Amino acid sequence: MNRPFVYLIGAGPGDPGLITVRGRECLERCDVVLYDYLANHRLLEYAPPHAELIYAGKVGGAHNREQGQINDLIVAKANEGKVVARLKGGDPFVFGRGGEECEALVAAGIPFEIVPGVTAGIGVAAYAGIPLTHRDVTTSVAFVTGHEHPDKATSEIDWEKLSLGSGTVVFYMGVKNLPQITANLMAHGRKPETPVALVRWGTRPEQEVLTGTLADISAKARKVSFKPPAITIVGEVVRLRDSFRWFDNRPLSGKGILVTRSADQAGEFAALLREKGGTVHECPTIRIVPPDDSSQLDGAIALLPGFDWLILTSVNAVRHFFLRLASCGLDSRAIGRCRVAAVGPKTAAALQSYGITPDLVPADYKAEGVVAAFRNMEMTGKKILYPRADRARELIPAELTALGAEVVAPVAYCNVLPDAIPAEILEALENKRIHCATFTASSTVRNLAELAGENRLLHLLEGVVIAAIGPITAASCRELGLEVHLEPETYTLEAMTQAIIHHFTS
């Protein structure tokens, strides 16, 4: 049996980029992950494919598992000889009950490591633009639970010391008890006009901030139904938010964006949108897989020295062509004298990662652009290899054949329909939390319509801004009855992002 070990890992306050390097390393080597409600689910992507994922979250008193059950489960999984990652929101030792879990591990004789995380009080305040200390305002800060153990006969919070002076006070989990917290602070000497900020889902794209004073923040929170999870910050430093606000005033803050690219390609586009503040909802409508039979492509690769041109029209085409090249025991040198055409800068960049600079990148990043570029050349008798998607249009083979070329167009990869639209995406669409739907290929919109049903798709996207990356994709949208609002002149993800920003900020 393997030696058991447990990592208690601080996941940070919500932004997955705030996990420590050490925390990520430990996740990558675990067999089991027990994760909390406040630990961003995107961090689970760092766990190995074989890892068992167990939800152990608590939401507003509704516990998926009681703390004692969580302790027992950690011990049980470790005693199976497994490496266990206990992934906790914030920091394990700051209102995270990590101490109780350590006690259970010590009692069971199981070795462990504590991996600190960015605690919510610090990370959330920074993302809200509120410095907890400032030499001209205050030089002290206190972190306090806003939700003490219900079995305590009396409070252990020293309200008098918290209330006197100018120190910043940060309350964790205090929204439910906000009226009592503000009343206690004022009763023990804090001025009613002291600024207060409530920060909900801090460090995430959906971050919300409500500001007020000790005298009125409870009424404001009740009026807008401000709900947990939230941090409460009390002190004069809250006034600095107006000047230091940087995160929740980005151009796409508060906007939900639907990304329909395949799961392995959504990351780049999602990152561009998140950087501008968008809340990204990933709904892969395509799975990219190799064809069941690659013999045609392998046969063409065997004859590669006899081809004059290799045409690659997407990053997927590049990836799958070179995968087959490698499976045949070859590498980039096999291309030899064959010249290479790449459609678009992303395809060209993908080629360069294999040490190949394309000879031709058409100015128009679609099939028509490829044909237009070759019309300026003598194509009679030229042999062209065009590894393509199973659903690719026949325009390139047909037009180049008409110009006198011999075109071999084997299937290099297939677009496969996923099983269903994720439930959380349907819920976000039904509740109008998605403001813009993006389509980067005709197959993405056609597949979404097939998964949802055309009539239901029109209902779900009613009032949603539709962004199509180019005219072919836009035409597919219109064929389904969708109005296309955004169509960038340049068919790139960067241009699509800028078009979305311009729409929502102009």
* Mean pLDDT per 10-residue interval, the chain, length 506 residues: 89 95 97 94 93 81 74 95 96 94 97 97 97 94 81 75 89 92 95 97 93 97 95 97 95 94 78 93 89 93 93 92 94 92 90 93 83 90 94 89 94 89 92 95 91 92 96 94 94 93 94
Domain 256-286+418-505, CATH among 3.30.200.20, 3.40.50.10090, 3.30.300.30, 3.40.50.1980: 3.40.50.10090
Q: What share of the chain is helix, strand, coil (3-state, %, to 5)?
A: 40, 20, 40
- Per DSSP, the residues of 276-344 read TT-EEEE----EEE--S--HHHHHHHHTGGG-SEEEE-SHHHHHHHHHHHHHTT--GGGGTT-EEEESS
β-bridge pairing 62-63 and 58-59: antiparallel
The rounded Cα 110 to chain-centroid distance in angstroms is: 34
> In the CATH hierarchy, which fold is given to the domain comprising 291-415?
Rossmann fold (3.40.50)
Q: Which long-range contacts does 340-344 make (Cβ < 8 Å, 24+ apart)?
A: 340/309, 340/310, 340/311, 340/312, 341/309, 341/310, 341/311, 341/312, 341/370, 341/373, 342/312, 342/318, 343/311, 343/312, 343/313, 343/314, 343/367, 343/369, 343/370, 344/313, 344/314, 344/491, 344/492
Amino acid at 93: F
CATH topology match: 256-286+418-505 vs 291-415: yes
The predicted structure's pLDDT at residue 61: 52
242 assigned to active site: no
Compute the distance between CA of residue 200 and CA of residue 192 in angstroms, rounded to an integer.
Answer: 23
Using CA atoms, how far apart are residues 221 and 432, in angstroms rounded to an integer? 23
Which of 15, 31, 36, 248 is the catalytic position?
Answer: 36
The pLDDT of residue 26 is 97
Question: What is the secondary structure of 18-61 as a DSSP string?
Answer: GS-HHHHHHHTT-SEEEE-TTS-GGGGGGS-TT-EEEE--EETT
- The CATH class, in words, for 5-118 is alpha beta
Domain 122-244 fold is 3.30.950
Is 216 a known active-site residue?
no
Angle between helices 266-275 and 493-505 (to 10 degrees): 30
Taking the C-alpha atoms of residue 185 and residue 159, their distance in angstroms, rounded to an integer, is: 6
User: What residues have CB less than 8 Å from 98, skipping those under 6 apart?
Assistant: 8, 88, 91, 92, 114
Q: What is the pTM of this model?
A: 0.75
Backbone angles phi, psi at 373, to 5 degrees: -65, -40
Q: Measure the CA–CA gap between 104 and 78, rounded to whole angstroms.
A: 12
Neighbours of 476 (CB within 10 A): 20
pLDDT at 491: 86
Active site residue 58: yes
| DSSP track, 193-247 | T-EEEEEESTTSTT-EEEEEETTTHHHHHHHTT--SSEEEEESGGGGGHHHH--S
Order the strands of the 309-312 sheet from edge to edge: 339-342, 309-312, 383-385, 406-408
Domain boundaries, the chain: 5-118, 122-244, 256-286+418-505, 291-415
3-state secondary structure of 174: coil
Contact status, residue 79 vs residue 53, Cβ threshold 8 Å: no
Number of H helices, E strands in the chain: 19, 23
| Residue keyed to tokens 């997407």 | 314
Of the candidates 315, 312, 364, 366, the one whose C-alpha atom is nearest the C-alpha of residue 339 is 312
Q: Residue 359 corresponds to which tokens in the numbers above?
A: 């000879």
SS3 assignment, position 168: strand
CB 484 within 8 A of CB 468: yes
Choose among 214, 210, 245: nearest CA to 230: 210
Burial pattern 380-417, b for ≥16 Cβ within 10 A else e, equals eebebbbbbbeebeeebbebbeebebebbbbbbbbbee
Q: Do residues 40 and 59 make contact, with C-beta atoms less than 8 angstroms apart?
A: no
Alpha helices in 88-229 (DSSP H): 98-108, 120-127, 159-163, 178-187, 217-223
CA 410 to CA 294: how far, in whole Å?
Answer: 8
Contact 439, 469 (CB under 8 A): yes
Q: What secondary structure letter does DSSP report for 357?
A: -
Cβ-in-10-Å burial (0-12, 13-18, 19+) of 158 comes to exposed
Q: Which entry of 88, 173, 382, 496 is annotated as an active-site residue?
A: 173
